[in-house]
Structure 1
Protein backbone atom coordinates (compact mmCIF):
# COMPACT_ATOMS: atom_id res chain seq x y z
CA UNK A 1 0.00 0.00 0.00
CA UNK A 2 1.14 3.50 -0.65
CA UNK A 3 1.17 6.26 1.95
CA UNK A 4 -1.99 7.93 0.55
CA UNK A 5 -4.02 4.70 0.82
CA UNK A 6 -2.84 4.09 4.40
CA UNK A 7 -3.78 7.64 5.46
CA UNK A 8 -7.20 7.33 3.82
CA UNK A 9 -7.88 4.02 5.60
CA UNK A 10 -6.79 5.51 8.93
CA UNK A 11 -9.10 8.49 8.42
CA UNK A 12 -12.06 6.23 7.66
CA UNK A 13 -11.36 4.12 10.74
CA UNK A 14 -11.18 7.21 12.98
CA UNK A 15 -14.41 8.58 11.51
CA UNK A 16 -16.24 5.30 12.06
CA UNK A 17 -14.95 5.12 15.64
CA UNK A 18 -16.13 8.64 16.38
CA UNK A 19 -19.60 7.85 15.04
CA UNK A 20 -19.86 4.73 17.19
CA UNK A 21 -18.64 6.53 20.31
CA UNK A 22 -21.13 9.40 20.09
CA UNK A 23 -24.44 8.89 21.85
CA UNK A 24 -27.33 9.26 19.40
CA UNK A 25 -30.26 11.46 20.40
CA UNK A 26 -33.42 9.53 19.58
CA UNK A 27 -36.88 10.97 19.95
CA UNK A 28 -40.32 9.49 19.82
CA UNK A 29 -42.18 11.07 16.93
CA UNK A 30 -45.70 10.17 15.86
CA UNK A 31 -47.70 11.94 13.17
CA UNK A 32 -51.10 11.93 11.56
CA UNK A 33 -52.83 14.45 9.33
CA UNK A 34 -52.81 17.78 11.19
CA UNK A 35 -50.97 16.62 14.30
CA UNK A 36 -47.54 15.60 15.56
CA UNK A 37 -46.51 14.20 18.98
CA UNK A 38 -42.85 14.20 20.05
CA UNK A 39 -40.66 13.48 23.05
CA UNK A 40 -36.96 14.26 23.40
CA UNK A 41 -34.15 12.07 24.68
CA UNK A 42 -32.47 15.28 25.89
CA UNK A 43 -35.26 15.45 28.47
CA UNK A 44 -35.33 11.71 29.18
CA UNK A 45 -38.58 11.37 27.20
CA UNK A 46 -40.40 12.91 30.16
CA UNK A 47 -42.19 15.75 28.32
CA UNK A 48 -44.64 15.33 25.44
CA UNK A 49 -45.17 18.03 22.82
CA UNK A 50 -48.16 18.27 20.48
CA UNK A 51 -47.89 20.34 17.31
CA UNK A 52 -50.86 21.50 15.24
CA UNK A 53 -49.60 21.08 11.68
CA UNK A 54 -52.63 22.01 9.59
CA UNK A 55 -54.85 25.06 9.18
CA UNK A 56 -58.01 22.95 9.18
CA UNK A 57 -59.97 24.37 12.16
CA UNK A 58 -59.46 21.09 14.06
CA UNK A 59 -57.52 20.65 17.26
CA UNK A 60 -54.44 18.43 17.52
CA UNK A 61 -54.10 15.88 20.30
CA UNK A 62 -51.42 13.56 21.62
CA UNK A 63 -52.26 10.39 23.50
CA UNK A 64 -49.47 8.90 25.59
CA UNK A 65 -48.69 6.46 28.38
CA UNK A 66 -46.05 6.99 31.05
CA UNK A 67 -43.94 4.17 32.50
CA UNK A 68 -45.15 4.93 36.03
CA UNK A 69 -48.81 4.57 34.94
CA UNK A 70 -49.09 1.63 32.56
CA UNK A 71 -52.49 1.24 30.91
CA UNK A 72 -53.41 4.86 31.71
CA UNK A 73 -53.69 6.93 28.52
CA UNK A 74 -53.16 10.66 28.99
CA UNK A 75 -54.47 13.25 26.51
CA UNK A 76 -52.62 16.45 25.62
CA UNK A 77 -54.71 18.86 23.52
CA UNK A 78 -53.41 21.66 21.33
CA UNK A 79 -56.33 23.98 20.63
CA UNK A 80 -54.10 26.97 19.80
CA UNK A 81 -54.17 26.65 16.00
CA UNK A 82 -51.89 25.87 13.10
CA UNK A 83 -48.16 26.19 13.73
CA UNK A 84 -48.41 26.08 17.54
CA UNK A 85 -47.09 23.62 20.11
CA UNK A 86 -48.15 22.71 23.65
CA UNK A 87 -46.15 20.65 26.11
CA UNK A 88 -46.99 18.41 29.03
CA UNK A 89 -45.72 18.63 32.56
CA UNK A 90 -42.67 16.54 33.45
CA UNK A 91 -43.34 13.04 34.69
CA UNK A 92 -41.94 9.55 34.29
CA UNK A 93 -40.64 8.44 30.90
CA UNK A 94 -43.24 8.34 28.14
CA UNK A 95 -43.38 4.72 27.03
CA UNK A 96 -45.64 5.12 24.01
CA UNK A 97 -47.62 7.78 22.20
CA UNK A 98 -49.61 8.63 19.11
CA UNK A 99 -50.81 11.76 17.34
CA UNK A 100 -54.52 12.43 16.85
CA UNK A 101 -56.74 15.02 15.20
CA UNK A 102 -60.14 16.15 16.41
CA UNK A 103 -62.93 15.19 14.03
CA UNK A 104 -66.25 17.01 13.78
CA UNK A 105 -69.15 14.80 14.99
CA UNK A 106 -66.99 11.64 14.78
CA UNK A 107 -64.34 9.88 16.86
CA UNK A 108 -60.89 11.49 16.73
CA UNK A 109 -58.59 10.08 14.03
CA UNK A 110 -55.27 8.79 15.36
CA UNK A 111 -52.07 7.46 13.87
CA UNK A 112 -50.19 4.35 14.96
CA UNK A 113 -48.71 3.98 18.44
CA UNK A 114 -44.96 4.65 18.60
CA UNK A 115 -42.77 3.27 21.39
CA UNK A 116 -39.66 4.56 23.18
Structure 2
Protein backbone atom coordinates (compact mmCIF):
# COMPACT_ATOMS: atom_id res chain seq x y z
CA UNK A 1 0.00 0.00 0.00
CA UNK A 2 2.78 2.45 0.94
CA UNK A 3 4.65 1.58 -2.25
CA UNK A 4 1.52 2.28 -4.34
CA UNK A 5 0.99 5.65 -2.63
CA UNK A 6 4.65 6.55 -3.15
CA UNK A 7 4.39 5.53 -6.81
CA UNK A 8 1.31 7.72 -7.34
CA UNK A 9 2.88 10.69 -5.55
CA UNK A 10 5.99 10.32 -7.70
CA UNK A 11 3.89 10.14 -10.87
CA UNK A 12 1.92 13.23 -9.82
CA UNK A 13 5.13 15.18 -9.22
CA UNK A 14 6.56 14.13 -12.59
CA UNK A 15 3.24 14.93 -14.27
CA UNK A 16 3.07 18.37 -12.66
CA UNK A 17 6.62 19.25 -13.67
CA UNK A 18 6.01 18.03 -17.20
CA UNK A 19 2.76 19.97 -17.59
CA UNK A 20 4.42 23.16 -16.39
CA UNK A 21 7.41 22.80 -18.72
CA UNK A 22 6.06 20.96 -21.77
CA UNK A 23 4.78 22.84 -24.79
CA UNK A 24 1.52 21.50 -26.25
CA UNK A 25 3.27 20.71 -29.52
CA UNK A 26 5.46 18.16 -27.73
CA UNK A 27 3.07 15.24 -27.45
CA UNK A 28 5.46 12.37 -26.80
CA UNK A 29 8.70 12.17 -24.86
CA UNK A 30 11.28 9.50 -25.68
CA UNK A 31 10.13 5.89 -25.85
CA UNK A 32 9.75 4.12 -22.52
CA UNK A 33 8.93 7.27 -20.55
CA UNK A 34 5.18 7.30 -20.97
CA UNK A 35 3.55 9.96 -23.08
CA UNK A 36 1.12 12.86 -23.13
CA UNK A 37 -2.00 13.73 -25.12
CA UNK A 38 -3.60 17.19 -25.24
CA UNK A 39 -7.10 18.36 -25.95
CA UNK A 40 -7.62 21.10 -28.55
CA UNK A 41 -6.52 24.40 -27.04
CA UNK A 42 -4.70 22.45 -24.31
CA UNK A 43 -7.66 22.77 -21.94
CA UNK A 44 -6.83 19.30 -20.61
CA UNK A 45 -3.84 16.96 -20.73
CA UNK A 46 -3.59 13.22 -20.19
CA UNK A 47 -0.48 11.37 -19.17
CA UNK A 48 0.08 7.68 -19.70
CA UNK A 49 2.53 6.78 -16.92
CA UNK A 50 5.94 5.23 -17.67
CA UNK A 51 4.55 1.86 -16.53
CA UNK A 52 1.78 2.26 -19.15
CA UNK A 53 -0.65 0.91 -16.52
CA UNK A 54 -2.33 4.21 -15.53
CA UNK A 55 -3.84 7.21 -17.27
CA UNK A 56 -4.19 10.57 -15.53
CA UNK A 57 -6.29 13.46 -16.79
CA UNK A 58 -5.67 17.02 -15.65
CA UNK A 59 -8.21 19.74 -16.35
CA UNK A 60 -5.94 22.73 -17.01
CA UNK A 61 -8.68 25.31 -17.67
CA UNK A 62 -12.39 25.48 -16.94
CA UNK A 63 -14.67 22.93 -18.55
CA UNK A 64 -15.03 19.17 -18.58
CA UNK A 65 -12.96 16.65 -20.49
CA UNK A 66 -12.38 12.96 -21.03
CA UNK A 67 -9.44 10.82 -22.04
CA UNK A 68 -10.19 7.95 -24.40
CA UNK A 69 -7.73 5.07 -24.53
CA UNK A 70 -7.25 1.43 -25.45
CA UNK A 71 -5.67 -1.27 -23.27
CA UNK A 72 -3.78 -4.29 -24.62
CA UNK A 73 -6.06 -6.77 -22.85
CA UNK A 74 -9.20 -4.85 -23.80
CA UNK A 75 -9.31 -5.87 -27.45
CA UNK A 76 -11.26 -3.18 -29.27
CA UNK A 77 -12.86 -1.80 -26.09
CA UNK A 78 -12.51 1.95 -25.77
CA UNK A 79 -12.03 3.18 -22.20
CA UNK A 80 -13.03 6.65 -20.97
CA UNK A 81 -11.67 8.64 -18.04
CA UNK A 82 -13.73 11.73 -17.20
CA UNK A 83 -12.66 14.86 -15.34
CA UNK A 84 -15.68 16.94 -14.38
CA UNK A 85 -14.09 18.48 -11.26
CA UNK A 86 -12.90 21.79 -12.67
CA UNK A 87 -9.65 23.57 -13.44
CA UNK A 88 -6.54 22.38 -11.66
CA UNK A 89 -7.90 18.92 -10.79
CA UNK A 90 -6.49 15.55 -11.82
CA UNK A 91 -8.22 12.17 -11.95
CA UNK A 92 -6.58 8.74 -12.33
CA UNK A 93 -7.65 5.53 -14.01
CA UNK A 94 -7.41 2.21 -12.25
CA UNK A 95 -4.35 0.10 -12.99
CA UNK A 96 -4.68 -2.29 -15.87
CA UNK A 97 -2.97 -3.81 -18.86
CA UNK A 98 -0.71 -1.73 -21.07
CA UNK A 99 -2.30 1.43 -22.46
CA UNK A 100 -1.82 1.67 -26.21
CA UNK A 101 -3.04 4.90 -27.75
CA UNK A 102 -4.87 7.76 -26.06
CA UNK A 103 -6.52 11.08 -26.88
CA UNK A 104 -8.15 13.88 -24.89
CA UNK A 105 -11.47 15.54 -25.70
CA UNK A 106 -13.10 18.74 -24.48
CA UNK A 107 -16.73 18.03 -23.63
CA UNK A 108 -19.18 20.01 -25.80
CA UNK A 109 -22.78 19.90 -24.48
CA UNK A 110 -25.34 18.56 -27.00
CA UNK A 111 -22.72 18.22 -29.72
CA UNK A 112 -19.74 16.15 -30.80
CA UNK A 113 -16.85 16.57 -28.38
CA UNK A 114 -13.75 18.43 -29.54
CA UNK A 115 -10.98 15.81 -29.56
CA UNK A 116 -7.23 15.99 -30.00
CA UNK A 117 -5.10 13.56 -31.97
CA UNK A 118 -4.53 9.97 -30.95
CA UNK A 119 -1.09 9.70 -29.35
CA UNK A 120 1.03 6.64 -28.55
CA UNK A 121 4.57 5.74 -27.62
Same fold (TM > 0.5): yes
Shift of 1:65: 0.3
Q: Unaligned 5+ residue runs, structure 2?
A: 1-30
Shift of 1:70: 2.5
Q: State how far apart, in whole Å, the 1-side matches of 2:102 and 2:47 are.
A: 8
Question: Post-superposition, which runs of at least 4 consecutive aligned residues in structure 1 deviate over 6 A?
Answer: none
Aligned residue in 1 for 2:97: 92
Aligned residue in 1 for 2:37: 30
Shift of 1:94: 0.3
Matched residue count: 90
TM-score by length of 2: 0.69
Aligned residue in 2 for 1:112: 117
Q: State how far apart, in whole Å, the 1-side matches of 2:83 and 2:53 are.
A: 18
Aligned residue in 2 for 1:46: 53
Q: Unaligned 5+ residue runs, structure 1?
A: 1-23
Aligned residue in 1 for 2:84: 79
Q: State how far apart, in whole Å, the 1-side matches of 2:54 and 2:86 are.
A: 20
TM-score by length of 1: 0.72
Shift of 1:115: 1.2
RMSD over aligned Cα, in angstroms?
1.7
- Equivalent position SS for 2:74: coil
